[in-house]
Amino acid sequence: MSDVNTQDETMKREVAGRMGDAFAPILEGGMDPVAAAAEVRARLKASRRPARPVQVGHVENRAVPGPAGDIPVRIYQPLDPEPGAALPVLVYFHGGGFVLCDLDSHDSCCRRLANGIGAIVVSVDYRLAPEHPFPAAVEDAWAATEWAAAHAAALGGDPARLVIAGDSAGGNLAAVIAMTARDRGGPAIAFQLLIYPVVDQRRKSSLSSPHTKSGVLTSEHMQWFTAQYLGASGAQSEVSASPILGDLTGLPDAHVLTGALDPLCEEGEEYGRLLAAGGAKVSVRRYERGFHGFFNLADHLPAAAEATEDVCAVVRDALKS
């Protein structure tokens, strides 16, 4: 096994161990849902590896208007922007099963995207379940996207080059927002970047994946996330929860990133095929050593650093055409 493969396998085992430790108390049952979510968040935050500093041009924390109060966002300016040019604006929705993670968990990821694309990145701290179940996250994602589009020029950005992006649950939100913008007549989305997105809350393929046994993202984890987000709403088949069930015509061009060791690989790639069938120009890239969550580990994982460079190049090229 090469040194790179050894690093990837070691990191996968580390992440699986962290997930196992974080979820062990709550999967036994009996805990109040809000207390259980708080416990998992605290355990994962405590076990998170320190990020390596990634310098950008400027970082600003702000609050933007939302349907239930202000939404915290973090705005990143790239380190070496194109002189005198209005920059692309990328709205980023973090992953975490609609229950976990925040602006800090994906800070390094957003810094790398800002520098690599040469874009202003607006990272959105949308409301989390179970305290705020579906459709709260969708509502916040939409409000933040509208705000970013309306304020793009004031931020130094180009409203005509508005990108939406996200990983896992955040990929779900990005896909849903692309549909919402189409259906409501704007804002115009130039491109969507979907990183191992959750697009089917019915879990048609992910629960039966052999990769649920790796410990990184198990069937129990996925069922718990869905229960916290959707509860007894029966919304698994609603398009704003499972965008793969929607009308996929007239949507922005897209890049879909998947990991071969991720239970979400199959549904992400199927979504890419359906987007292409609907008329979008779509590229799909599978990383053979990629497990769920690997993209957010570029500080420590060669495969993630490679994937980050790749998607930055894809987005840059897409915005030129």
SS3 83: coil
Instruction: Let me know: does 142 contact 180? Beta carbons within 8 Å.
Output: yes
Number of residues assigned to the chain: 321
Q: Counting beta carbons within 10 angstroms of the beta carbon of residue 132, is it exposed (0 to 12), middle (13 to 18) or buried (19 or more)?
A: middle
The answer to whether residue 262 is catalytic is: yes
The answer to whether residue 158 is catalytic is: no
Separation of alpha carbons 149 and 289, rounded Å: 36
Q: Could you write out the DSSP letters of every residue in 140-193?
A: HHHHHHHHHHHHTTTTTEEEEEEEEEEETHHHHHHHHHHHHHHHTT-SPP-EEE
Separation of alpha carbons 17 and 198, rounded Å: 22
Q: How many CB atoms lie within 10 A of CB 202?
A: 15
Residue of 94, 211, 255, 292 marked catalytic: 292
Instruction: Let me know: does 255 contact 193? Beta carbons within 8 Å.
Output: yes
Q: Which residue has the tokens 């990383």?
A: 287
The answer to whether residue 300 is catalytic is: no
Q: Could you write out the DSSP letters of every residue in 4-42?
A: HHHHHHHHHHHHHHHHHHHHHHHHTS-S-HHHHHHHHHH
Residue of 123, 168, 206, 240 marked catalytic: 168
How far are the Cα atoms of 22, 28, 39, 130, 223 from residue 25, in angstroms, in the given order?
Answer: 7, 6, 9, 17, 16
List the end-to-end C-alpha distance of the chain, in Å, as a whole number.
40
Residue of 140, 167, 200, 262 marked catalytic: 262
Q: How many CB atoms lie within 10 A of CB 63?
A: 11
Q: Which residues are catalytic?
A: 168, 262, 292
